[in-house]
Every structure is written in C-alpha cells, then in structure tokens.
Structure 1
Amino acid sequence: MVALNNAVRHATTDGFIGILDMFGFEDPKPAQLEHLCINLCAETMQHFYNTHIFKSSIESCRDEGVSCEVEVDYVDNVPCIDLVSSLRTGLLSMLDVECSIRGTAESYIAKIKVQHKSNKRLFDQKTIDPRLFGIQHFAGRVIYDAADFLDTNKDVVPDDLVAVFYKQTCNFGFATHLFGSELKALYSVENVPRGVSFRISPTSHTDLLNGDEPVSTLTQDFHTRLDNLLRTLVHARPHFVRCICSNNQEVTNSFDRGIVVRQIRSLQVLETVNLMAGGFPHRMRYKAFNSRYRLLAPFAELNRTEEKVTDDCKTILQYANDLLAKREVVSGVSTSWALGKRHIFLSEGIRQLLEKLRNETRKKAATLIQSTWRGWRYRYRWTTLRRDKTPEKITSMASTKAVPARTGVPPGTRPRPQPIAGTPPPDMTEKCDAKIIQQTCNLFGLNLERPPPVPPSRSYTVTGNTKLGYPQTRVMKMSYPEDTSGEGPIFLKGETVLVVGASQRRGHLIVEHKNHTLHVPFQFMELKPSLNI
C-alpha cells in the first residue's frame, strides 16, 4: 500500500489508495461514552453506504428520467445520527454543555429525556438507576450508562505520564510518534515534569495548568476526526467489503443462524444484492463511457464527435449485446442499460460484460502488435542470418569429416578436451579444410580423440635463475603432520630433512629423515642454498 501511494503521489492528480478498517458495532452491558462514539461512527458509515449505493442511484434515475424496475426499500438512519450528533440538541452537544456547567449524570439524563421525549430512537430503560438510557441503532438496541460520561469527556493526561513516551526513555517509536506534539511542548522547558496536563486530541496540543479547562472535549475531538474522515471519503471512489460475524463464541466453522440473519438485515445486504442484480447501480458520463469502451465497436461505425456521443454509446452497447447473444451466455443477472440526460446507466451484468470484452480486445490487440513487430524484426534480419548460415554449415561439415564417430572410441579412453576458456572463436569467414587438419595430425603423431600424455615430473627445482637437482637439504618451517596425536613419524619444526625427489602428489616432495619417508607439501619446508648437496 505504501508503494502504491508513493507511485500515485507523483501523478498529476492528488490521488491515493487507502483502506479504512472499521470497528464493528459495540453492544456491551452496559455501554460507556467510548462505545457511543464507536456506534456513532458505525451509524455514519452506514449512512454513507446508503447514500452512495441506494440514495444516489435512485435519485439519479429519477432526476434523469430513467425508470428502474427494482424498488429498493432501505432503512434511513439519519434520525439516529441527528439524535446523537446534532449541533445543538444532540446527545454529545448536550454532554459538552453539561460539562461546562459542571453538572451531574442525573441532570444530563433528565435534560436529554425532556429534549427528545418524542424521539422514537431514544427510549427509557425501566430500571431503578436513573443514569441509564437506550438508543435504537440500525443494528439493534443499546443500553448506555451515563455515570462516567462527564468524567470521560473532560479527561486529561498528566505530564508525568506523557514523559514516559519520550524518545530517550521509550523504545517503542510508534508511541512516541503518537504523543509527538505533547512531548515537544513538554520538553520545550527544562523542568520536566512540572505539574501540567494535556488534552490528547487532534485539535488542541497546548499544555493546561492545574485547574484549567480543556480547550476541547473528547466528543468534540471525535467529531473533528469523523468530519475529516467523511471529507476524505466524499471525494474518493469507495469500494465496500461487508464482514459478517458467524457466531459470538469466535469458533471456526460454526454459523449461528440468528446472528447471521440479524447482521444481513441490519447491513441491508439483500437490498444491495437486489439493486446489483436488477437495477442500475452504475452510471457514467457519455464522454467517459466512449473513452473507455469505444474499442469494442468497429472504428468506421463510430462518429467520434461530441454531438453524436449518444449514438456512439448505443452502437457500443449494441455490439456488446450481439456478442453476448452469439456466445449464448445464460445469466440470472440483468444486462440492461438506459440512457439518461447526462449519464448512461448500467446494470452490474452489462458492466461486467463490457469489462470482460474490453480486456479480451486489449489482449488481442497486444498480441497482434507483438506478432507484427516480431515478424518485421526477423524479416529485417533475415538477410544477415542467411549470409551467416553458409560458414556455419561448412564448419559443421568439416568437423564431421575430420572427427571420427564417438562410437569408434575405445573404451576407457578420455574424450576430446574442450577448448581452453578465453580462446577466441574461429573466424566464420575462413574456410576450414578437413584434409589439411588430418595431414597435420598424422605428421605430429596426434590423435584428436585423446590428449597428449602428461610430461614426467622434473628432476630439479628452480630457485631464482638456478636449477637445483636432487637430493636437497631443507629445514622444516612447521611440524608435519600438523596433528601430532596420531601414530607414525613426525617431522618437527626446525629439523633438517633430505628431499630425494618430486612426489606423484601435486605440490608434494619425497622427504627422508631418520629412516622414515614421507610425502610432504613443499610449503612446509624452507630451502637452504648454502646447505645444498
């Protein structure tokens, strides 16, 4: 996700790709102020979903004179949102007022019951505790306990707690980042802590002296965050993923019918499916539709002018329907479409069909472009390839005549060695005469199938510009063998030994000492020219 946003950031438009992971509906027994804020956010997101999916589609069809056969009856939760977050009479606004006058939970409950006595979304819980009240949310009824509402709404954080997350003492960098503004204000003065309090909020990061009231309350800060989120979502192109909880016990492969049905009804999943199957959930501007799907129709059939953009849309859709009829695709999803005043309305079925045809057409075009380019490329290179083909053929024929068949090689003989690495390749323009090669091999007694024999070991060593024959007197630079725990003769460091010749082992010399003979690596010994025999 970070890589995608970094790539989009440099585009001409101010775009981004984000994922909003919403917490679910909260219904503890009883609920507190934080649960009321969470449920308000869930109500707001449900209202945004209703507006984006249902209301906008229905109103757009009505405004542009398009008749839709599917009638979607969805539940509008605006009254519940107004009950909680209305500017003057909402429950949260009245809570802020009650905090400012230093009221109590009982007085707060009494005021909201008087203010909203005719609101069906607010119901009175028939209990002894006067601080309880209930709200009918879109997902069900929730009972709230207002005993701690006022204290939670005015909650502040002391500076000694904020100082714990300072980067010099905290190894968890994410926590330090969360309190960045507060830590900056706190450590701007040397005396830390100094008995101040902070409001942890996105709107106020100023320190408060003891006894001062916070600039904003918890509910005001929550409203600020929620408004910023909605402002971002309104200007985005959202896609929704509905999550259904199968049971309350969090057990795998277990589905509680009542719980699942209640969630499907509250989230209005069936209404969404009906709209997608038979309505017009998608709409596009005529110009945007032509720009995206004009490749589906023949070029000569399109006018490609703004005056006849509607005719081009009809032509494209007609070709799509004809192709669907030829394929004899049977689907229960509607493939209908309609033309409005400014938009073309598409069902989910026709949109999927158009996207599938578009992908197939683009793939065929890409294949045609690649094959055409590759054909031209090889036709262009054919003259060079044909000219280079004759020397290769002559060389292969000469090698066939000069080299006997592999089947004639006597068993146990070594195969012909490969060319030494770094040998320049043969010049393809030069002709190779197999007869000359055979005469040269016969003259020098060479056999192309076996390498020449390895020469015998030299009977001398070379030191500087002097040849030294055997035997030689040398001094051991280190003990041999290195593992002195085993049995057998040991040549100790500093002993004088006699080298009688070269060993068959690579890099070894035959050494005699005290009636013992060993094959010793030459690096274990040091030559003393003055002691040579």
Structure 2
Amino acid sequence: YNGMFGWLVDKSNVMCDVEGIKGNWIGLLDIFGFEDFEFNSFEQLCINLANETLQNHYNNYIFKKDMEECRAEGVCVDDVKCPDNSECLKLIVDSTGILGLLDDECKIGTGTDEGFLEKLTSMCGKNPFFERKPMMKTSFTVKHYAGNVTYQVKNFLEKNRDSLKDQVKEILLQSTVPLIPPLVPPIDDSSRPSAKLTVSAFFSRQLKDLMELINSTNPHWIRCIKPHPAKKARMFDGLSTSNQLESSGVLGTVKIRKAGYPVRILLQKFTSRYVVITESASPVVTDILAAGGIADKALAQVGTTKVFLKSEAYQKIEKLREAAVVKWAYKLQRFCRGYQGRKVMFAKFVEKNRERLLRERKEKEEKERAERERLEAERRAAEERERAAREAEERRRRAEEQRLLNVRNKAATCLQRHVRGGLTRIRIFRQVVEQQRAVFEMQRERQMVDERQGVTEVDIVRLKAERQWIAWLNEVDQLQRYMEQEAQRREGKEEQKKRILRREVCRAEEKIRRELTLDEAMARQTIVTKCAVVAKHKEQQAKALASFRASASGASHAKEAHRRFSPQRTARQQASAQAQASARRNDQRTDKLLAEYALNRARAFEEYFPNPPPPPVDTISARKRSWDDSRTPTSGAGVTSHSPAARGVRSPQRDRELFERSKNRWERQEAWLDSNEAAVTRDFGVAVHDPSAAQPFTGQPLAHKAIDDAYAGPFRTPQAAVTALESRSPPKNPLPAYL
C-alpha cells in the first residue's frame, strides 16, 4: 500500500510536470485535523505533531506579520506576548523527546513499550507539557495547543519499526502483475536493526521538508467547520462547532489578535467617523482618543497611516460615538423643527397684515427710488468732473510726450552725427591700414621667397656635401672591411699552411716512430728466439751427457754419442750464427734509421743555433759513440773507398757527433724546463738564469714566436719543427749559450 501510494504521487507529479514549473505557483495542502479519541496511539501522535507544527508556523506568521505592520506604523509592541507552543514541539521531536526516545528504544533489539514509557517519564517528567498520573500504567498525556491528549503506548515500537518480513517481500516480488514488483521495497541484507529508517524519523524528515517549503511561500489558511454531524440543512450544533473552532486553532488565532491591536482603522476614516465625540471644530486623532478616554498606549496607539485599537477601546469609542450621534441628532431635530415653526408663523403674520405691509412696501420703494436717483445724479456729476480732469491730464501728457519726443529726436540726431562720423573715420582708417598691410605683406612675401631660395641653395649644397661625405665614409668603411677581410683571409691561409705543415711533420714523425717501434720489436723477438734456441740446446746437451755417463760401455757409447750429437751440434752452431747475423743486421738497420732521424733533427737545430756549446765528455752518448766506433770496421788509419768521406759527404762519425750534441742539448733543455727556473713575466717575456754561471743573467722579454722558437727545441713539439722549416733563419732573441 505504501509503494502504491508513492507510485500514485510520482505519477501525478509527472503528469502535472512538477519539475518543469517555472515562475509563480500555487500549492494546496490538505491534512488531517487535530485528533483526540478515546484510544489514541502512534498514528494520532504523528497527526497531532503535524497540526502542532503548522499551528506553530501559523502563530509565528500571524504574530510576525502583525508585529511587522505595527513596527512599520511606529507602534510600540514590546509588551505584546504571542502564544508559543515551541516547548510542546521540542517535547515531541527533540532527541531527548518522545520520538527521539522511541527511535532509541527501537534500535535496541530487546526494547519494549513499557521500557519506552519509563524512559520517557524519567526524561520528560518535569516538562510542563508532559503529564503522567500515577494511575496511568500504559499511557501518558501531552498538552497540545488544542487540548490535552492521552496516548496509549501499546504497539508504539511495532508501529514505529513498520517492518515487513522478507518472506512477504519475496512473495510480492514473484507476482506476475507488472505493477507490483517495482512497488515492493528491496530486501535489506544489513544485519543492523538501525540501518532502516523508522516511521517517526521518516515522518519528521518529511515534515521538516514541508515546513521549509511553506516558509518559502506566502501562505493563506482556510478553516473548514462542520455546523453539525447530522449532515442536514438548517441545523447548527454549538458545542460541536466550538470544539472544531478550538481544535482548528481559530480561537487561538483570536487570542493572538486580542493580545495585540486587532482593530486597525485608517487615520482619515477614523477622524471622519469619530469626530462627533469632540467639541473641536478641526479635531485630530489625539483629541478624539483623549475625548474617548482611550489615550493610554495599552488601549490605543497612533501609527503613520492607521490607528491601532484594543477590542475594549474599540467598543468604548463606539459607544461614545453612538451617544454623540444621538446627541447631535437631537440638536438637528430641534433646529429643523424650530425652522418649520417659524416658517408657519411668518406665513400667518403676512396674511393678517397684507394692506399695511403693501403700503409700507410702496413707501419704502419710493424712498428707495428717490435715493437711487439722487445717488445717480451725484454719480453722473462725479463722472463728469472725472472726465474733465482726465481730458486735461491727457492734454498735459500729450504735450509732455511731444516735448520729450523732440528732445529725443534732437539727441538722436546728435548721436547719429557722432556715430556716423566715427564709423566713417574707422572705415577710412581700416582702408588705410589694409593698404599698408597689403604693401607690408607683399614686401614680406618677397623677402620670404628670397630667404627660401637662399635656404634651398644652402640645403642643396649641404645635402651634396653630406652625400659626398657619406659616400667617402662608405668607401672608407668598405676599404677597411676589405682590408680586414684580406688580413683575415691571409691569416687564414697562413694558418692553413701552418696546419698543413704541422700535419705533414706529424705524419713523418709518426711514420718514423712506427718504423723504429717495428724494428725494435723485431730485434727483441730475434733475441728472444735466440735465447730460446740456446736454452733448448743446453737442455738437450745436459740430457745427452747424463745418458752418456749412465751407459755401461763408455767407448761404444761415446762413439754413438759422437755419431748422434755431432750433426746436431753443427745445426746448432749454424742456427746460432744465423741468429747473430740477423740480430746484427737488425741492429745496423735500427742504428741507421736512428742516426738518419737524429741527423735531420740536428741539422735543423744547427740552423737555429749555429754556435752550440761543446758536449760533455763523460756522458752516455760518448760511451755509446766509443762503442759504435769499436763496432765500425776500419782499414787502418786512412779512409777507404767505401767511407762517406770518400764519396764526398759527411762521415758517420760527424753525423753521430752532431746527433749526440743535439741530443745532449735537448736533454739539458728538458732538465732546465723541468727545474722551473724560467720566470714568466706578465708580458710573456722569459728571464733565464744559468746556475753554473758566475754572474746572474738578466734575460730580455721575448715575443710569443720567439718563446716558441727558443724553448721548443728540434725535438720539443711539431710547432717548433714547422716554424724552423718555414723561417729557415735564426731567432732574433736566441737562448743563452749554455742552453
């Protein structure tokens, strides 16, 4: 049933398009009235809670509206009290009230109705709106605005839970009618009893939403009263009607209005209605209130547009008005009746004295006519005198006007003469000025033309000079750029040549190093091979000697050994001779390559240093030279036909000497550079000091190229070799002799 009711509400809202409503709208709320039966249960409590809530809203709205109107009119309403049922609402809906304790008891699985009543009594026993008499074992009383209602707590918990068994839900969900399954609530798998919303909590939530909606609108109330329960015409039950008025809150509304100022009359209407109770010709509201004896603020107050009256004040002033109206009615009647009586008596008096009255009337008319004629003659004479005076005044005025006109004409003629003369002089002066200005402007124009021509010529000459100067500057800049480009190009070419020479020298040196390394490796391999052959030969000889000594027959074994080892000894000697010859050839070839390489370096070094110092005697090179001389074959003291001197070239001794000298010098350079005895100055000059010299040597600053040429040496860097090959001339600042 609950699901069907919700389905009907949703369907009605969809058909009425409630969600699409925009702008103003009108809502209609129809609920149960206040209920008080012999047996009141949980349903009556919910219905009465709704009525109590709406009554609270009604009281606050009416009271608030009345108070706002009074304050807008400037009426003091601080002493006015409004009936308030907020405490009764808190008793029902508060967390420690009836519904809150009921929900707490439902959450307990073992809760009972009697336990709920006992908790309610202990928590709310001191509340003035709650009552439980000692004889009430299963009931309690709530003092509502419409009266006291006694509720029976039997089945309160069951109705609040409103639980439907899962078996019933399963049966309804299996229905073949398409409408029924969607209406059944889903089966709750939760094991907690508090997971489901109770009826009181759901009802309170809906009631809260309803009040929020009502508070956002402008409400109006319609009270429906049944005149009697028999539903027949022309019948009225006063007791039933009074009970309905009391339960619907109408009597409470009357009390609210009586607590304030229920009678409110506009100032103009109040003045026009109650002016009769005052004696003043132009009374004000305060005079009327004072005359009525209701000037006290507790009975009446005057606003900006209305007069606010209590009920008793209104009744009092109404009685005074009725008395004043009766009093004024008596006065008006007296005046009217006196007028009517005087009118009748005058008619009778006129009828009785008609002839005398006519004669008196005729005499009176004659007198009045003579008086009128006399007054007319006097009036005509006065008018004649006034006319003559006016004519004389008119003649005098005209003569005066003519005189003034003549004076004005004469003055105007004089003014015209002076003005016209001045205007003529001004016109002539302007003509003269215009002529002189034209002549001056013509002269000035000619002068300006001449000046412009002169300036133009000067500008032409200046522009021509500027163009020439700019062209000259451009040519100078172009020439400078060309010279800079040429210098950069020459420098680039020089650098490129130097790089090419460096690469060639490096390649040549690298090639020589590789050849020397190869020859050295081959010589080492030959020596190792030679040593291995000798070691193997000694091992075989030792083995043969041991076997020979162990033999029993010495002679036969000796012959056999001589026969066995004699060819091997011959082969061994041949191999040793071949190895020595190969090693000798390799040594000679290595010495030759080293000599040629060192000779080339020494020759290049001599070109830079034509006066080198003599090499020391006790050096490694001297010992090596003596060893080479001992190895070099000579044929006596003379020179053979195969020697280099016989061929017309330098001898090997001379080349070896040059090589040793340059090598010794190079080693001394290396030792000197490593000993950090060269002090480099800020301008990159070098001060050289010879520790063996007696006097200190003060060197001169050298340029970068001189430094590179002086300290590089023939074996120092490829840069020095390239520089030597390019310059082919000694440096300007050579090193000292001891280097």
Structure ranking higher on relative contact order (CA contacts 8 Å, 6+ apart) = 1
TM-score, normalised relative to structure 1: 0.42
* Structure with greater Cα Rg: 2
Whose strand proportion is higher, 1 or 2? 1
More helix by share: 2
Q: TM-score, normalised by structure 2?
A: 0.31
